A and B are shown apart, each in its own frame.
Chain A
Amino acid sequence: MSIGHTLLGLLESGPRHGYDLKRAFDEKFGHDRPLHYGQVYSTMSRLLKNGLVEVDGIEAGGGPERKRYAITEAGITDVERWLATPEKPEPYLQSTLYTKVVLALLTSRDAADILDTQRSEHLRGMRILTDRKRKGDLADQLICDHALFHLEADLRWLELTAARLDKLREAVAR
């Protein structure tokens, strides 16, 4: 999962301090893997260097967690592009996809769009496998079927998520 894009997405709703960013991330996406402060600062300094965020203010007391960051226009474009690009089908894809969907809901973008684009990407892969299966021998068929069932499992999760977008929107707004 791209921590940089996720932190950027969290900044879209308004400037935040480093510690606040970490807390928001952990709360929404880091249930099993909270961020280290070190990760937040290395990520933020990279985003700063690339012009995707700017320092909006510094609280008294010193320390990097006291910096307040704001997203730039370039940062917003970067989030936009990331959300619109489908993920390569691979194991644990759902954590990235879940993040994208939640960020889309948080920033009032069309989350169903992201899921449609991802379905399309998965189907593209499934068409190639299906074609190989049709032309291949039994061994090909079995190998392709294994991959097809895995992609299908992703898609079933995706459809279920799509069907629950309204509930999820309410949940993330809280």
Chain B
Amino acid sequence: MTSVTSVSATPSVPAGTLLAARDLRKAYGPTTALDGAAFSIHPGEVVAVMGPSGSGKSTLLHCLAGIVTPDSGSITYNGRELTAMNDAGRSALRRSEFGFVFQFGQLVPELTCVENVALPLRLNGTPRKEAERAALTWLERLEVDDVRKKRPGEVSGGQGQRVAVARSLVTGPRVVFADEPTGALDSLNGERVMELLTDAARSTNAAVVLVTHEARVAAYSDREIVVRDGKSRDMERVV
């Protein structure tokens, strides 16, 4: 019998998986940050990454996003092996397919909010007018179009974070990486940001990798994995 699905080089990745990692190891000098961690996510899925401080959550996210190269292990995105790509390939992938939201300091202080949101599109070569029009649509969806002309230093933490979420979504990414996206917000603002982020992700079928230590934030996910001492535990498979 001839196989029609022999395109995948890693048969251990289940069908329908968008991003998967196996046996990731990463050390910083004497510190082991990842010690055999695994991960997988489907399109449209929101997966929370939980675990104690220093357990390797951010390192896992950075590896998955191609920002950090693991010492060993495999990461496949859409059938492509990330660890086999060169830096230019990985950064092109990040620009076109991934979106990022972090806890602090991600907006460019010299640019207005709408320019900040438009920036990823501009970097991909979209003309200014068109980029800013798309940016404004996202600012409206995140309910912060009123701050479009302000600079990041002139908006509140909650507004700034919504602007950052808008920026992470403007390119229509297939995966959004969010590391403590609500960490600096009060619970009402944090929840609204989560609601808007997950609504937007669902409507565009984007996957969200959500690092958080807050249960109320993790409750916006579909499932969680726990990272401890650089090892991951997929809670769906055990229970």
Contacts and interface: CB of A to CB of B under 8 A. Distances in A.
Asked if A pairs with B, the answer is: yes
Interface of A: 86, 112, 116-117, 119-123, 126-127, 129-130, 134, 148, 151-152, 155-156, 159, 162-163
B154 interface: no
Nearest to A122: B215
B214 to A, nearest CB: 8
Contacts of B239: 86, 117, 120-121
The binding surface of chain B is classed by DSSP as mixed
B221 A127 contact: yes
Interface residues of B, number: 19
B228 interface: yes
The binding surface of chain A is classed by DSSP as helix
Interface string B149-165: 00000000000000000
Given A112-B228, A117-B238, A117-B239, A123 B233 contact: no
B187 to A, nearest CB: 9
Interface in B192-239: 195, 213, 215-216, 218-222, 224, 226, 228, 233, 235, 238-239
Contact of B218 (A86, A123, A129): A123
Contacts of A129: 219
B215 A152 contact: yes
Contacts of B235: 116-117, 119-120
A52 to B, nearest CB: 25
A123 B222 CA distance: 10
B19 interface: no
Contact of A163 (B52, B219, B222, B233): B52
B114 interface: no
Interface of B: 48, 50, 52, 195, 213, 215-216, 218-222, 224, 226, 228, 233, 235, 238-239
Contacts of B220: 127, 130
Contacts of B224: 119-120, 123
A86 B235 CA distance: 12
A134 B233 contact: no
A134 B216 CA distance: 13
A162 B50 CA distance: 13
B52 A152 contact: no
A119 B226 contact: yes
Contacts of A163: 52
A123 B52 contact: no
Contact of A155 (B48, B52, B215): B215
Report which residue of B50, B219, B228, B235 has the largest number of chain A beta carbons within 10 angstroms of its beta carbon. Answer: B219
Nearest to A141: B191
- Rank and list the top 6 A-B pairs by shortest CB-CB distance, nearest first: A126-B219, A130-B219, A120-B235, A155-B215, A152-B215, A127-B219
A150 to B, nearest CB: 11
A169 B18 CA distance: 41
